[in-house]
Structure 1
Amino acid sequence: MTLYEFAKGMFSFQFKLMGWNIQGVENIPAEGPVILAINHQSIWDPLVAASSLPRKVYFMAKEELFSIPVLGKVFSKLGAFPVKRGQGDMNAIRQSLAILKEGSVLGLFPEGTRSKNGEIQKGLPGMVLLMEKSKATVVPVKVYGTRKLLTKGWGNIAVVVGKPMTPEMLKAPDGVENRREWIADRIMQAMHELSIAK
């Protein structure tokens, strides 16, 4: 058993006890490169999302996390890799494309940082660059209940997986001035519209 499998099993058990609700997991393609576009509310989001999905997810995470003693190495063992926020980090882009070239799943938080009020923010166009270069399918994912998870998460944790969006489905119309921004907005809108089915 790998560290990833062990961690996934451990956190899955904990989240199930807390009333975990997972919907739309059948929308994750069984194979091939996939970019998960996930909303970002708390540090728990990657754990909740990865524990919900059948395929291993490689997460891009802020560089500062990898300087934490011990935890930094654990993040790397779990398949996460650093990105320098606020600039074009070519190393992170190359690593992302290598993951997608292998036909694996890349987890991104396209808002770039955690939402302070829980509302979905504007998506950065970097995910569109990765989609275009890799021809990967984009799948919007919305995580609920991770803000103050340990105190208010009981019965409120949910992950809703949206319909896959191929690069062909995300072509900007002629005349659009900023094509990547337009596509990023479409992805974030799809994420925003995801809701928990009763």
Structure 2
Amino acid sequence: MYSFVIQVLKGLFRIFSGKIFVSGKEKVPVSEPFVLVCNHVSWLDVVCLGLALYPTQIHYMAKKELFGQKLVGKLLTNLNAFPVDREKPGPSVLKTPLQLLKKDRVVGIFPSGTRSAENASLKDGAVFIASRANVPIVPAVYIGPHDMKGVLKRQKKQIIFGEPFYVPKTAKSKDDTIQKSTDQLLYVLNDLEKKHA
């Protein structure tokens, strides 16, 4: 279903919104799993990122509230999303992404674009998952409209991929290694956005 939806979205974007400009895709690993971390401003960054990275499929980490309705939950599951309890994160938060990465899949994590406490926590999680799985983090940013009005006005949409980097291996979610790598990730995301805004 993932491929079918991507093809439909490609056609709709081509007709109503114009192309998505993609930079740095040559930096993205093609033969190994990785954790993809992107800023999150609206549903459009999720869609555009999926289109930009295809045929590589992304397994999206999504808040469990989105799976509350049976039909919506089934659709999200068919589109490779998996639920995470952000209010009470525990060991189970690591289980699904680590299993996916072990199967050579790509895990996408979309923290908000602000420097809120939740944002920092989610980025810590992305870094820790990459460390535990011994896979690179690929930073990415979306720059473009935030709503359907901007899409229909054919405002420019960009996905920019940064250089992948590895996080030193650690078994502790709270230590200097994770903090330094989280700071590095925040710096890279902010820098990518500033350079292409």
| CA-to-aligned-CA distance 1:52-77 (integer Å, 9 cap, x gap) | 10311000000011112411101001
Does the CA contact (< 8 Å) of 1:60 and 1:92 recur in 2?
no
Distance 1:181 1:106 in 2: 20
Q: TM-score, normalised by structure 1?
A: 0.83
Q: What are the residue-to-residue correspondences of 1:1-16 with 2, within 5 Å?
A: 3-16=1-14
Partner of 1:33: 33
Amino acid at match of 2:2: Y
Amino acid at match of 2:143: Y
Partner of 1:174: none
Does the CA contact (< 8 Å) of 2:32 and 2:104 recur in 1?
yes
Distance 1:82 1:89 in 2: 13
Closer/same/farther in 2, CA of residues 137 and 75 from structure 1, 3 Å limit: same
Partner of 2:73: 72
Distance 1:181 1:165 in 2: 15
Partner of 2:139: 140
| CA-to-aligned-CA distance 1:59-109 (integer Å, 9 cap, x gap) | 000001111241110100111100001322332310000001111100001
Consecutive unaligned residues of structure 1, counting only runs of 5 or more, are 172-176
Closer/same/farther in 2, CA of residues 184 and 15 from structure 1, 3 Å limit: farther
Does the CA contact (< 8 Å) of 2:167 and 2:181 recur in 1?
no
Distance 1:68 1:46 in 2: 20
Distance 2:26 2:96 in 1: 27
Q: Give the deviation of 1:47 after TM superposition.
A: 1.7
Partner of 1:183: 181
SS of equivalent to 1:49: helix
Q: Give the deviation of 1:120 after TM superposition.
A: 6.1
Distance 2:191 2:143 in 1: 13
Distance 1:97 1:146 in 2: 33
Does the CA contact (< 8 Å) of 1:35 and 1:108 recur in 2?
yes
Identity %: 23
Partner of 1:102: 103
| 1:59 maps to 2:60 | yes
Q: Give the deviation of 1:146 after TM superposition.
A: 4.2
Does the CA contact (< 8 Å) of 2:145 and 2:155 recur in 1?
no
SS of equivalent to 2:26: helix
Does the CA contact (< 8 Å) of 2:127 and 2:137 recur in 1?
no
Partner of 2:165: 165
Closer/same/farther in 2, CA of residues 178 and 146 from structure 1, 3 Å limit: farther
Amino acid at match of 1:131: A
SS of equivalent to 1:106: strand
Aligned residues: 184
Q: TM-score, normalised by structure 2?
A: 0.83
SS of equivalent to 1:44: helix
Q: Give the deviation of 1:15 after TM superposition.
A: 2.8
Closer/same/farther in 2, CA of residues 120 and 23 from structure 1, 3 Å limit: farther
Consecutive unaligned residues of structure 2, counting only runs of 5 or more, are none
